Structure 1
Amino acid sequence: MYIIAVDDERPSLNVLTGAIREGMPDCSLSAFSNPLEALYHAQNSKVDVAFLDIRMGDMDGVSLAEELKNLHPKINIIFVTGYTDYTLDALNLRASGYVCKPVSAEAVKKELKELRHIPESENNKPVRIQTFGNFEIFMHDTPVVFHRNKAKEVLAYLVDRRGATVTKKELATVLWEEREYNRNTQIYLQILISEMIRALNEAGAGDIIRRQHNSLSVIPDSVECDYYNFIKGDPHTIESFHDEYMVNYSWAEMTAGTLSRQKDGRSTQEKQ
């Protein structure tokens, strides 16, 4: 379980993180005294649960919760407070729960047992992406359906970039090498992006994409992917690669070549 804890008062943050570690010792915990740093972390990492102090200086907990929910729609928000003046705003956000200061391990355990959204097991991710051979994406082993092939290609390129931020202009260049990046191209690209997001949302996989003002990226930790497992060095996945990677798309040939060389290099080392 991936948890973040945010409190701009360092002593309170230390008590909170201590309670979380005692209550959920196997979790992956990141602590922040600066809400903006927590938000940046969430833009680039998987977050299942956020313990947020409601009253903070630069950004209060309710505002931070709104931003986190935009990034991770199924995130569980647990407010940490000794105050009641934000209760209505917090209820409107459909928070998973509340703990009162000073936070105890027992209170943490209780809230984590009653989460609104149950985190998927790290070894049982519902979204599976296949890149060896043809590109496909599955939700609980059911293929995600895209009404436009180019919308599916947008997702494929994001997967290829492994979480790196991709601008809309870069996407347009990949999709249409010779096409001018004018107003018409921008409008059509936005239609494709909207179609991609719609297809993912309908399948229940919308939270694998991180959206920013003029760019997109996939969240690698949110999916099971043969390409990513290859990069991690999984022997079974490496053995299953037969020089075919996203054969639907010509731009994928460079990655295919890189994977082939890496596999050949591993085979050579094993023989020596």
Structure 2
Amino acid sequence: MLQLPYCEGEIHMKIVCVDDEVNALAAIKKEVEKIEGITEVQGFTSPQAALQYICTHSCDVALLDIQMQGIDGLELAKKIREGSKATSIIFLTGYSEYAVSAFHLHVSGYILKPASKEDIERELQYIKEQPLFQQSRLLRVQCFGNFEVFVNQTPLKFERMKSKELLAYLIDRKGAAVTTGELCAVLWEERPDSLSLRNQLRTLIADLTRTLKQAGMQQVLIKRRNQYAVAVDCVDCDYYHFYVVILQR
């Protein structure tokens, strides 16, 4: 029986580290990269550059040093809140007196320097367990009406419409594995199976994989040898909800 979505297993995260001291930034990035499940780590010594990146890319967590030149960590956190509400914030500082200010900003974590892998991992685990974070890890799919896909309320942009059609068919299969031959037959109904067609399919699979990865949703697509499926527990789909209701009658 199809279950309502809850993305189980290892949750991948994209992290941004911000510290205006080069050596300190390198040290924190090194600790973050030791943690399993981290798919991408970006480091910035410029708070302005970090803010621009976070507001234009999918970012799960921002690790911010509080004491920085120009925009300090507290001010940067406020600006991140305005531009990227889905990004969780963890403060890094050598001074405990900033804890009250961090509390008032409702940040997700607070770590005293020097931060170890265990310190960071503990705070990330706390974030992973929050309902809002779990919800943000779900790819929202609208099947009734026009087929649309959303990440954090924003429509997902596809470079190729055929890639969107591919995802739509996999969604319709509700987690069942689909062979390359079946996909070719569905996506190109009037063309016979051929090596050229399968090469086109590989291009679409690569494009869909890249699109999902850029949105931080790579866990949605399951790939095995010549078979593809969607992880239904990582998808929030109106059709799936409707299907569950029908089965329960």
The one-character-per-residue Cα deviations of 1:205-248 (angstroms, maximum 9, x if unpaired) are 8x434xxxxxxxx5x3xxxxxx73855847833878xxxxxxxx
Identical positions, percent: 25
**Cα–Cα, structure 1 residues 48 and 26, in superposed 2: closer, same or farther, change >3 Å?**
closer
Q: 1:17 aligns with which of 10, 29, 33?
A: 29
Deviation for aligned residue 1:11: 0.3
Q: 1:128-176 CA deviation, whole Å, 9 max, x = no partner? A: 245xx943668xxxxxxxxxxxxxxxxxxxx8xxxxxxxxxxxxxxxxx
**Structure 1: where are the runs of 5+ without partners?**
139-158, 160-204, 210-217, 221-226, 241-262
The residue number in structure 2 matching 1:154 is none
Structure 2 match to 1:135: 146
- Name the count of aligned residue pairs: 167
Secondary structure class of the residue paired with 1:52: strand
Within the candidate set 79, 93, 103, 2:115 is matched to 103
Greater RCO (Cα-Cα under 8 Å, separation 6 or more): 2
Q: 1:49 aligned to 56, 61, 77, which one?
A: 61
User: Residue deviations 1:87-110, cap 9 Å, x none?
Assistant: 222111111111121211111111
- TM-score normalised by L of structure 2: 0.55
Distance, in Å, in 2 between the alignment partners of 1:238 and 1:126 is 13
TM-aligned CA distance change 1:134 to 1:19, over 3 Å: same
Q: What does 1:121-160 align with in structure 2 at a 5 Å threshold?
A: 125-130=138-143, 134-135=145-146
Cα distance between partner residues in 2 of 1:99 and 1:31? 17
Aligned counterpart, 2:93: 81
Map 1:183-202; keep pairs closer than 5 Å: none
8 Å CA contact 1:61, 1:79 repeated in 2: yes
Specify the alignment match of 1:60 in structure 2.
72
Structure 2 unaligned runs (5+)? 1-12, 171-186, 200-249
Paired residue type of 1:13:
L
Change (3 A) 1:103 1:137: same
Output the amino acid matched with 2:31.
A
**Letter in structure 1 aligned against 2:48:** L
Deviations 1:51-88 (A, max 9, x none): 10001102111111111112232322110000134322
Ranges of 4+ aligned residues in structure 1 off by more than 3 Å = 116-122, 229-240
Q: Report the residue type matching 2:197 in the other structure.
A: E
2:31 counterpart SS class: helix
Cα RMSD (Å): 3.7
Partner of 1:208: 153
Question: Do the aligned partners of residues 48 and 228 (structure 1) sit closer, same or farther apart at CA in structure 2, a change above 3 Å counting?
Answer: same
| Contact 1:52-1:79 at 8 Å conserved across structures | yes
Report the TM-score when normalising by structure 1: 0.51
| DSSP-derived class of the 1:103 partner | coil
How far apart, CA to CA, are the structure 1 residues paired with 2:46 and 2:70?
A: 8
